[in-house]
Amino acid sequence: MMNSSKFYIIIILFISSCSFYEKQSNPYLQTGEGFVEVEGGKIWYGIMGEGNNTPLVCLHGGPGGTSRSYYNLSEIAKERPVIMFDQLGTGRSDHHQDTSLLKVKKFVEQVKAIKSELKLNEFYVVGGSWGAALALEYYTMYPEGIKGLIFNSPYFSTPIWTEDAHKLIAALPDSIQTAIRIAETDSLFDTESYAAANTLFASKHGRRKKFNKHPFDTVQSKRNSFIYNYMWGPSEFTATGTLRDYDNHLNLKNVKVPTLFTTGEFDEARPETVKGLCQMIPFAKFIIIPDAGHSTLNDNRLAVVTAIQEFLEIQEK
């Protein structure tokens, strides 16, 4: 029979061994980039940072946008891996104009492919604008391993989004309102007057400040306007595409993980509206990003980074 001293030594070694392996970082989560095969082609992903803290998986807006704004989370990458990827059809992923691939569920499966490729057991999901809708869809279908949700300037419902847009348009000059009304009535969106209206709206509620290119953003990464027009429409305030009747905001009531909502002070995702959406999730936190439009990571990057960092610190105490 084993004597007690040897027995305790073995137990201590076993516990130490378990602790050692628990602290090992995921070997698939090292700074770099790669591609994942999905239905229709390959999607690009990039990883900033390494370490044992729970990673972030970042879902970009659009549809048809790119992940480049998430380079602005580089401070957070000093603490944990920050994973970004370009949805199929845009950015550094394979481009296409196959409308059979432009379904919400197809995009959800792309997120799942990234999770599988990088062997993620536990992670936070960050979604901005359309990426927030995608984050909620993914959580609803595949909640396993999601430690928390971060919704930045979120879109979950076209009726809610367009109602907000109408309120913002009502504060624009009469000539701009008339141009928008005529274009939408006649379905003529390629006029100079409509383009001018779109430009003014974007300057007030989209990106309010000069574009600040992050030093890590060095490779050409083109958005896909075909996908944007097909799924959404000709402008942020006119939905004519396949998402024109999309509405999934009631699924917020089913969220059971810690959640952070942020939106810009002058955002298209109006603070009053986002606060109401936030209240659908018990104990969710809501933060307004001051002096920012929809492009909060451009207009006030530090405030967004601070909000996310503080949220993560609370979850991991």
Buried b (16+ CB within 10 A) or exposed e, 204-240: ebbbbeeeeebeeeeeebebbebbbbbbbbbbbbbbb
Catalytic site includes residue 294: yes
Catalytic (active site) residue 129: yes
Active-site residue (options: 69, 93, 129, 235): 129
| Nearest-angstrom CA–CA distance, 71 and 66 | 11
- Say how far apart CA 232 and CA 130 lie, in whole Å: 10
Identify whether 267 is a catalytic site residue: yes
Catalytic-labelled residue, pool 86, 164, 267, 299: 267
Q: Which of 205, 294, 295, 299 is catalytic?
A: 294
- The first and second tokens of residue 218, run together, are 């060095």
* Residues belonging to the active site: 129, 267, 294
